[in-house]
Chain A
Amino acid sequence: MADVFKALADPTRRVILDELTERDGQTLFEICARLANKHHLGSSRQAISQHLDVLEAAGLVETRRDGRYKFHYLHTEPLRPIVTRWLEPERDP
């Protein structure tokens, strides 16, 4: 769970997740264009690629190749323990 919190701690990475929520399955180019033009985040392509690596290591983003293109998908499963731990803890019978 520490990886998930570390990944979510960065505001640029949270914006990347916001944009993937709006449209799932984006190329690196589209993510960079959205960050630059919609959010005025002037990060380099290399920096955004590193952010995506952190999100992928935490399991929050999955990359899949489709032919010659590589797309990034949102994967929210690692967020579920946050809900079950604090928001919906199992009660003792």
Chain B
Amino acid sequence: MRINITSVLVDDQDKAEQFYTEVLGFVKKIDIPVGGGGRWLTVVSPEDPEGTELLLEPDGHPAAGPFKEALVADGIPFTQFAVEDVHAEHERLRGLGVRFTQEPTQMGPVTTAVFDDTCGNLIQIAQYDG
């Protein structure tokens, strides 16, 4: 068994596609209509095109909204991406208008920052300092 997909629950797939590709820099891998206006929409890192796919999954279930709102209010990220340099990535994303709820912070062996994906989630970026 291996992990081939992980997902984030997004409030709008078109907006999510734009943010995760144009702003974060991932590339679209699979885009198939699945009925009900939804798509099976995944992106991958250009640094690892055969790696784990991120599924941009509609958050239409009635429990999803309150769940996401509660996480965001407390600043809790839904998932995490690895970067080489958190400070550089923070500068780059801030320049593109991305809102951070946690500025880059040294947390023991790791430096992290947390930003809003504009689709109802917070995302942590992390750099392991070894």
A-side interface residues toward B, CB under 8 Å?
Answer: 23, 26-30, 33-34, 37-38, 45, 65, 68-70
Contact = CB atoms under 8 A, between A and B. Distances in A.
Contacts of B107: 33-34, 37-38
Interface of B: 69, 72-77, 101-103, 105-108, 110, 112, 114, 122
B74 A29 contact: yes
A48 to B, nearest CB: 10
B108 A29 contact: no
Contact of A33 (B69, B103, B112): B112
A29 B69 contact: no
B72 A38 contact: no
Nearest to A33: B107
Instruction: List the 5 closest pairs (A to B, CB-CB), nearest first.
Output: A27-B75, A29-B75, A37-B107, A37-B108, A28-B74
Nearest to A27: B75
B60 to A, nearest CB: 19
A65 B72 CA distance: 11
Given A26-B102, A27-B101, A29-B114, A70 B74 contact: yes
B102 A29 contact: yes
Given A29-B77, A29-B114, A34 B72 contact: no
A12 B126 CA distance: 26
Nearest to B106: A38
Contacts of B73: 65, 68-70
A30 to B, nearest CB: 5
